[in-house]
Amino acid sequence: MTSVLKAPVRRTQSDRRQQSESELLRAAAALIAEQGTAAATFENIGARAGYSRGLVTQRFGSKQGLIEALIARLQARIQGLLDDRQLDALNGLEAILAFVDIFLRNLAEDGELRAYFVLMAGAVAEVSDLRGPFAAAHKEVEIRLEGLVLRGQAEGVIREGLDADAAALIVGSLLLGLSTQLLVDPALNLEPIRETSLATLRASFGV
């Protein structure tokens, strides 16, 4: 039997660009999560990812461009985790609880998710222009949660008298607060907090 050797698949320029950008952003997130925003210099990012400083400049143009790309990547990661759970197939209450569950299960273990909140804390503390992208992202989450509350009320699984907008903001603030607390105390054990949060929300929102 003769074996047929297949020629290696050649990657396109677009493929190579996407790979290099992904590796640079992964390196930037790791540096930010480990050492803070100041450590994410173009030189450090290039060295961490195995590329030149010039390539970082070429891909992102400026520190602002890099951070905005990193924010978009981290938001996409969170969205991917939620999509995998298929929240639309659950009733409104269970979808909210799944949202909280997914977020808290990944918060302590996902270095890139931690980097997102390091960036956010820095943007707020420094009154940075980057507050805008964070505010827009959090507003999207609030709107999504409000829609789940309204859906749950229509389905009869969430109390009718509950203010949907306020309930969504409470859930978002819970997750934001725990994310910030984890930055202050990296050794925080989130598991009992996750379980208590889910039980509290179920008791508070449920019929």
Whether the pLDDT of residue 3 is over 80: the answer is: no
Q: Output phi, psi for 110, to 5 deg.
A: -95, 105
With a CB cutoff of 8 Å and minimum separation 6, the contacts of 13 are none
Higher pLDDT, 156 or 88: 156
| Number of other CB atoms surrounding residue 168 within 10 Å | 21
Which DSSP letter does residue 126 get?
T
In angstroms, rounded to a whole number, what is the distance separating the alpha carbons of residues 184 and 207?
Answer: 36
- In 3D, which of 54, 64, 56 has the Cα closest to residue 26? 56
Higher pLDDT, 9 or 80: 80
Kindly list the structural domains of the chain, giving each domain's residue range(s) and its CATH number in brackets, ordered by start.
14-61 (1.10.10), 70-205 (1.10.357.10)
On average, the pLDDT of the chain sits at 87
Task: Grade residue 171 by pLDDT with cuts at 50, 70 and 90.
Answer: very high
In angstroms, rounded to a whole number, what is the distance separating the alpha carbons of residues 91 and 183?
Answer: 33
In angstroms, rounded to a whole number, what is the distance separating the alpha carbons of residues 128 and 67?
Answer: 12
Task: Grade residue 23 by pLDDT with cuts at 50, 70 and 90.
Answer: very high
In this predicted model, what pLDDT tens digit does every residue of 106-160 receive, in sequence order?
A: 887 777 788 888 888 888 877 777 788 888 888 888 999 999 999 999 999 999 9
Question: Contact at 8 Å (CB) between 31 and 119?
Answer: no
In angstroms, rounded to a whole number, what is the distance separating the alpha carbons of residues 199 and 188?
Answer: 19
pTM above 0.75, yes or no: yes
